[in-house]
Amino acid sequence: MTEKTAQPDASQGRARWLVASVAFAAFLCMLNTHTINIALPVIAQHFQVDTGMVARVTLAYLMTMTCLLLVFGKLDDQLGLKRLFISGYGLFTAGSLLSGIAPSLGILILGRAVQGIGASMLLTTGTAIIARHVPPNRRGWGFGIQGAFSAAGAMLGAPLGGLITQYAGWQWVFLANVPVCILAAVLAKWAIPVEKPSAPARQVLATFDWPGAGLSFAGIFLLLSGLNMGRKLGWASPAILTCFAAGVLLLLLFMVRERKCAAPLLNLALFRDRAFTCANLAGMAAFMVMTGSNFLMPFYLARYKHQSAAATGFVVMLFSAVFLLASPIAGRLSDRIHPARLCAAGMACAIAACIILQLTLQMPGLMPALVFLGLFGFGFAMFASPNNNQVMGLAPPAMAGTAASLFRTAGTFGSASGLALFEALFSMAPPRAAAAADPAAMLVSGFRAAYGFGALLCLAALVLSLAAGRLANWQTIQAHRKEIKP
């Protein structure tokens, strides 16, 4: 099959297939984050291990994926987006096959780590592909479709994981990926334009900033380990404090290294653009609230509203359903309206959702949760795609891959820290004296503290989005978009 290098003004039909290919990769990565959760109890029983051991199956995927985002962002810019994207499918397929046939828990964890490497390549490269190859007046639409597919993966992950585990066995949670990934790679090979690498692969790898990659990987890994294990070991335990201290130290050494390196993994000049920095920080704050809320809401429904696991699952699906419907609309609007305004409007909706939930927590029935999930899902949809469009529009064209990796890293780190902070606030919120002997009132006190913090984070995301909009006007974003070429 011969391949032709497409131009940014490619036909609408070709752009649709390109976005579909990238969006499906986002769907697949998010789906595999959630399908496995339902299968974990069965996997633990199969290998005769406890919950602490089987949790490593999930952590191997998430932490490998997150820690390598910066590495693949740099390689995207040097080796070419299409090459890395299809290679990501190859590794994801290999990891899925290895996980599905794993004879031991250790091999399963290794397979999940390989999956995580592939997912990191797919996510980072996919965002940069839309930024570089979709026409400027349609990029917001492309990011909206990508966000909608991610939401669909999150929404369908749990029910699909349950059905596959029950009727086919946990192994098919992984093996089902293999033929799907092969077909998706074929589509990607046809739909994504070819790019000329900046240098031969051997030269790129020979001059690559491997020490910087090691420092960034280790630093992010230690910080995420501390956030993931803090609830279990105690936030003030020596192990957790050591993780945080060592992680911060390694990331500081990484930044010192990058300032002196001739070909740095991360060009720190990106952060001199205050608009770009503000937009990324806004995204991180918003993802903190989204993940923290997704963690706490099932506890509100199960412990305070006394809903069954099945009913809780269907109620919380409302967030993903609303996001799925609204995200493409928000993305298309961000092609016509300044993304900062849409981001601010979305966060205003999220603030209202948090405050309404605080005020109505004790009302009978499910209406407080339904109103919150619907309004918050709409607000986050109005924020997520425009924020993605804003970040990539502000990025220098030559560093689209690096900018995409930073955007993904900020979001993932925000998710991990948001979960930890929401859980800590919920657990440590001091109940009123009258509530000391009332468990239900103690739960309400914890929920109010967590969602009050969530409202403050949404306010921070709103202010940062507007600041990014003031620091870089709409014409600047449009000019950057038009400069992005394959």
For 43-62, the pLDDT digits (tens) are 888 898 876 677 778 778 87
236-277 residue pLDDT tens: 888 889 999 999 999 899 888 888 877 777 777 777 888 888
What pLDDT, on the 0 to 100 scale, is given for residue 474? 53
What pLDDT, on the 0 to 100 scale, is given for residue 434? 43
208 vs 6: CA distance, rounded Å: 28
How sure is the predictor about 430, in pLDDT bands with cuts at 50, 70 and 90?
A: low
Higher-confidence position of 334 and 14: 334
| 6: pLDDT strictly greater than 50 | no
68-120 residue pLDDT tens: 887 887 776 667 778 888 999 999 999 999 999 999 999 999 999 999 999 98
| 431: pLDDT strictly greater than 60 | no
Mean pLDDT of 23-46: 83
| 392: pLDDT strictly greater than 50 | yes
What pLDDT, on the 0 to 100 scale, is given for residue 385? 85
pTM reported for the whole predicted model: 0.75
What pLDDT, on the 0 to 100 scale, is given for residue 429? 61
Mean pLDDT of 9-21: 70
| 34: pLDDT strictly greater than 90 | no
110-156 residue pLDDT tens: 999 999 999 988 988 887 788 777 777 777 778 888 888 887 887 78
Between the CA of residue 448 and those of 177, 352, 443, what are the distances in Å?
41, 14, 9
Higher-confidence position of 227 and 105: 105
In the chain, the percentage of residues whose pLDDT exceeds 90 is: 22
What pLDDT, on the 0 to 100 scale, is given for residue 10? 46
* 2-16, 129-143, 261-275, 375-389: range with highest mean pLDDT: 375-389
What pLDDT, on the 0 to 100 scale, is given for residue 486? 38
Three-state SS for the chain is CCCCCCCCCCCHHHHHHHHHHHHHHHHHHHHHHHHHHHHHHHHHHHHCCCHHHHHHHHHHHHHHHHHCHHHHHHHHHHHCHHHHHHHHHHHHHHHHHHHHCCCCHHHHHHHHHHHHHHHHHHHHHHHHHHHHHCCHHHHHHHHHHHHHHHHHHHHHHHHHHHHHHHHCCCHHHHHCHHHHHHHHHHHHHHHCCCCCCCCCHHHHHHHCCHHHHHHHHHHHHHHHHHHHHHHHHCCCCHHHHHHHHHHHHHHHHHHHHHHHCCCCCCCHHHHHCHHHHHHHHHHHHHHHHHHHHHHHHHHHHHHHCCCCHHHHHHHHHHHHHHHHHHHHHHHHHCCCCCHHHHHHHHHHHHHHHHHHHHHHCCCCCCHHHHHHHHHHHHHHHHHHHHHHHHHHHHCCHHHHHHHHHHHHHHHHHHHHHHHHHHHHHHHHCCCCHHHCCCHHHHHHHHHHHHHHHHHHHHHHHHHHHHHHHHHCCHHHHHHHHHHCCC
What pLDDT, on the 0 to 100 scale, is given for residue 286? 93
What pLDDT, on the 0 to 100 scale, is given for residue 418? 82
458 vs 464: CA distance, rounded Å: 10
Structure-block tokens of residue 106? 């250790």
Round the average pLDDT of the chain to a whole number and report it. 81
279-311 residue pLDDT tens: 999 999 998 898 888 778 877 887 788 877 667
What pLDDT, on the 0 to 100 scale, is given for residue 476? 55
Q: Which of 23-27, 48-52, 88-92, 166-170 has the lowest mean pLDDT?
A: 48-52
How sure is the predictor about 477, in pLDDT bands with cuts at 50, 70 and 90?
A: low
Q: Which of 108-117, 214-223, 269-278, 474-483 has the lowest mean pLDDT?
A: 474-483
Q: Which of 22, 34, 272 is nearest to 154 (CA)?
A: 34
What pLDDT, on the 0 to 100 scale, is given for residue 458? 95
What pLDDT, on the 0 to 100 scale, is given for residue 337? 83
